[in-house]
Amino acid sequence: MKTDKIYLVGFMAAGKTTVARALARRLDWQSVDVDELIEQRERQSVADIFAKRGEAYFRSLERQVLAEQMAPRHLVVATGGGTFADVQNRAVINNDGVSVWLDVPLDRLIARVPAGGRRPLASDRAGFERLYHQRRAAYELAHVRLDAGRASVDALVDQLVDWLEH
């Protein structure tokens, strides 16, 4: 086994949470979702936090929650779409475990994310596309890239388990 912790990174709606849960089940590890931990702590949705307190406040919570994930091992962490875009977060993640980028083409993400939904950074489509292109440079710094555009969750988990074991 190449590592005892995996961080899934990628754009919103790339499937990080779903893959994290499936991979953790396969490895008999725990899984956590950074956004879900923030929502539990704040007792409100990410969208509400953005609306009421702003993105800077959300990012500070994200850093705190990420720091709390350093000690546990045998863990799969689903990060938020912007977590790995932050230089400090990226360094923490890449030093603590293996970062895996779930790379999904923009057109597939647009199809998955309703413009008026619960994702605050998806309401403006032009902004959504700009953000996608800006964050790709950060995602490319992940240890592993998986083409997650058309692959099933099971296929992605199989690829990751194979990579971990060889």
pLDDT score at 120? 56
pLDDT score at 121? 57
107-114's contacts with Cβ under 8 Å and 24+ in sequence apart are 108/149, 108/150, 109/11, 109/12, 109/13, 109/14, 112/13, 113/12, 113/13
Q: pTM (2 decimals)? A: 0.93
pLDDT tens-digit series, residues 20-76: 999 999 999 999 999 999 999 999 998 899 889 999 999 999 999 999 999 999 999
Does the pLDDT of residue 117 top 70, yes or no?
A: no
Q: Could you tell me if 69 and 32 are in contact, meaning their C-beta atoms sit under 8 angstroms apart?
A: yes
pLDDT tens-digit series, residues 147-161: 999 899 999 999 999
pLDDT tens-digit series, residues 72-107: 999 999 999 999 999 999 999 999 999 999 999 988
CA within 13 Å, CB half, 81: 22
Angle, helices 55-68/87-96, rounded to nearest 10 degrees: 20
Which CATH architecture fits 5-165? 3-Layer(aba) Sandwich (3.40)
